[in-house]
Amino acid sequence: MSTATHERAGVGRRVRLSFWDSARVASVGLRTRPLRATLSALGIAIGTAAIVGVLGLSSSSQAGLLAEIDRLGTNLLKAEAGRTFGGQTANLPIEAPARVSHIPNAEQVGHAGLIKDAKVYRSPMVPQANTGALQIRAVSLNLPSVLTIGVDRGSWLNAGTSEGPVAVLGSVAAQRLGIDRVHPGLRIWAGGQWFHIAGILKPATLAPEIDASVLIGYEAAGKYLGHVGVSRGEATHGPPTTLYVRAATDHVEEVQAALARTANPQAANEVNVSQPSDALTARAAAEGAFNSLFLGLGAVALVVGAVGVANIMIISVLERRSEIGLRRALGATKGQIRMQFLGEALLLAALGGVAGVGAGALATAVYAAGKGWAVVVPAEAWAGGIAAALLIGAVSGLLPALRAARMSPTAALRSV
């Protein structure tokens, strides 16, 4: 009914509560029974926290991987000899690295040769079966720079140490051998021979096989482990099994196309060429996909929270009959009573939603900081979380609010 009609009826202007008055009235339940209100909002808080946390964590881990990919670059190519009929890893020609380095735009070429059937132990006393699945690889000295691997402890091989019984451990190899510090006199028993440990590498994200390896120089491999070969009729160090090639950023595809046939012109189709960053990119895409199980649990928690709020609101309306009667006597319209209780449900839900978003974001921040990722809480996550909470509040508050408004003021006043 219009204002004019009210005035004609002689009852004055239609009244609308200001925002602050509405908020104050809607917070009566919260102020009179804070513990109950908090508990009733808890379900909604847990639901939103779960949703925001899941979305935040998957986004942050994706961001972390993308940053990692960025750091490592996507211009690394890997050429591997395929497997022989016996299932053994085949060798590449000894000349392969030199040939590949002549491919235009192949900027850096590193390589590693797997020493077959050589086992690694902490000492000769360790039972034969406990190899820890570690391998020994002869490696070119430029390998850390080609693969962007840092040195964690000690130092990398050099021209001198690569000729002696000296090894550097990949990060996983060090862990499996139980070695976390490097000191003079530290040795391991590899391929039936003592090797001094010069250093430990940081994780090699682009080449997990290096991580799980004991790395020695080609000279040492030939001298101590019999990894030798023949090149142009002369005895020389052993053959490589894998080439790592850094291509100029804009020419990766051309280098990739030329790699197999350059590495092994006799059997180009046996050479597997790959781009290690592809695996990471695929993983990043997978991380970005939401964990639907946890999202589902979050949704269930939200529904439970909605039931909790509705339950509390219905009890609250019954308990506060006299307040409702009094407000009607003071001139509150049915609509204003309805808004009061709807507002209260919305307020509870909003508090739960905000707390949940806060908790979810905090969990994301803590976890992401631990992993060294950038903290990413997507706008859809927190805005969606709060919107979901408000929607839940509106739905769960509607029935109690309608009941409160329908209540006869005198019944409400007589009920004490």
Among positions 4, 129, 159, 416, the unique one binding another protein when judged by CB under 8 A: 416
Q: Give the one residue of 2, 4, 13, 160 binding another protein; rule: CB under 8 A.
A: 13
**For another protein, which residue of 161, 193, 316, 336 counts as binding (CB under 8 A)?**
336
State the nearest-atom distance from the C-beta of 20 to another protein, in Å.
7
Could you tell me the end-to-end alpha-carbon distance of the chain, in angstroms, rounded to an integer?
Answer: 34
State the amino acid at position 377 in one-letter form: V
- Counting residues that bind another protein (by CB under 8 A) gives 38
CB neighbour class for 84 (10 Å; exposed up to 12, middle 13-18, buried from 19)? exposed
Distance CA(340)–CA(402), nearest Å, equals 11
Q: Interacting stretch for another protein, rule CB under 8 A, among 157-165, 272-280, 288-296, 323-331?
A: 323-331
- Quick check: 203 binds another protein (CB under 8 A)? no
* Site membership for another protein, residue 28 (CB under 8 A): yes
Asked whether position 180 contacts another protein by CB under 8 A, the answer is no
Closer residue to another protein, CB minimum distance, 18 or 128: 18
Find the binder of another protein among 2, 20, 198, 311 (CB under 8 A). Answer: 20
Q: Does 16 bind another protein (CB under 8 A)?
A: yes
Q: Residue 397 and residue 314: Cα distance in Å, rounded?
A: 8
Rule CB under 8 A: is residue 326 a binding residue for another protein? yes
CA trace torsion 204, 206, 209, 211 (10° rounding):
10
Burial of 202 (0-12, 13-18, 19+ CB in 10 A): middle
Spell out the SS3 assignment of 131-152.
CCCCEEEEECCCHHHHHCCCEE
User: Smallest gap, in angstroms, from Cβ of residue 39 to another protein?
Assistant: 18
Nearer to another protein, 25 or 172 (CB): 25
Q: How far is CA 237 from CA 110, 139, 161, 226, in A?
A: 15, 11, 16, 9
Q: Residue 21 or residue 180: which is nearer to another protein going by CB?
A: 21
Asked if 25 interacts with another protein (CB under 8 A), we say: yes
Q: Is 401 in the site for another protein (CB under 8 A)?
A: no
Q: What are phi and psi of 147, to 5 degrees?
A: -95, 0
4 lines the binding site for another protein (CB under 8 A): no
Q: Does the footprint of another protein cover residue 75 (CB under 8 A)?
A: no
CA distance 99 to 111: 12
How buried is residue 230: exposed, middle or buried, by Cβ count under 10 Å (0-12/13-18/19+)?
exposed
Is residue 304 within 8 A of residue 47, CB to CB? The reply is: yes
- Closest approach, Cβ 331 to another protein, in A, equals 2
Give the interface segment with another protein, choosing from 128-136, 259-267, 379-387, 406-414 (CB under 8 A): 406-414
**Footprint of another protein on this chain (CB under 8 A)?**
1, 6, 9-18, 20-21, 25, 28, 31-32, 322-323, 325-336, 408-410, 413-414, 416
